[in-house]
Amino acid sequence: MVDGSENLNLPSNWKDDLLVQTMDDGGMGSLLLFPNGFVAEKRLFGKEVSRYQFVDADGVDVIVSLYTDKSGKLFEIDSWKVDFSPLIRIPDDI
């Protein structure tokens, strides 16, 4: 999703210190992202930079969006299964 994003300028080592935290979303797969190994609680939502849609193993549509915060740093991967059921499988090509 990072590779397919618009106007996202990340250093080549952006993955090295990325912390990831699951979100309480009923098992749909959303993740909070904390670049540089720093957990900041007061960041503000910025914008969507990438979107991907697929059909889960049970035939239900899933929409996944990558968001940055107001300062342009990775913020969240929002995964939304249209029937709000838990995610079964993430495709290999996402």
State residue 53's pLDDT score: 95
- Tell which wins on pLDDT, 7 or 46: 46
Within 8 A by CB and 6+ apart from 9, the residues are 72
Q: How confident is the model at residue 56 (pLDDT cuts 50, 70, 90)?
A: very high
Q: What is the pTM of this model?
A: 0.85
d(CA 70, CA 87): 28
Q: How confident is the model at residue 36 (pLDDT cuts 50, 70, 90)?
A: confident
Q: Is the pLDDT of residue 7 over 80?
A: no
Q: How confident is the model at residue 47 (pLDDT cuts 50, 70, 90)?
A: very high
Query: N- to C-terminal Cα distance for the chain?
Result: 6
Beta partners for residue 53, in sequence order: 63
